[in-house]
Amino acid sequence: MTGFAKLLKNQKILVVEDDYLVALALSTTLEEAGASVVGPIARAQDAVMLIEEGKEHIDVAILDVDLNGEKSYAVADALALRHIRFVFATGYGVDAVDRQYRQYPRCQKPFDHQALFRALMVRGS
């Protein structure tokens, strides 16, 4: 386990990703790094409902920007309202993220695990 990965120990990370194989690989990587995965969740509406219910503690989240043609911005808004850090994930460039959300961290797919771990550790997002 790398130095970055050790910092994910005991973190509860919400994964919002519509591609089953990507979600599975990402969840496995996070769990191997010591995190507990919440989800994965494939639909924005389901993720927002989980966040609004407040029954599940979430330290940080990874949001696929495009969920089966629907943007994950409602999820980002729900997280930001509750001061929960998140990272956008996309296989496209910075232009794939609407201008008003570009101040939030973004990781490129396929994931560079070290870059992802660094983004998850950024405070104050």
Q: Is 0.85 surpassed by the pTM of this model?
A: yes
- Summarize pLDDT for 16-58 with one digit per residue, the tens: 999 999 999 999 999 988 899 999 999 999 999 999 999 999 9
Q: DSSP for the chain, please give it.
A: --HHHHTTTT-EEEEE-S-HHHHHHHHHHHHHTT-EEEEEE--HHHHHHHHHH--S--SEEEEESEETTEESHHHHHHHHHTT-EEEEEESS-GGGS-GGGTTS-EEESSP-HHHHHHHHH----
- Summarize pLDDT for 73-93 with one digit per residue, the tens: 999 999 999 999 999 998 777
- Summarize pLDDT for 95-108 with one digit per residue, the tens: 778 888 888 888 88
Pick 3-121's CATH classification: 1.10.3720.10, 3.90.700.10, 3.40.50.10190, 3.40.50.2300: 3.40.50.2300
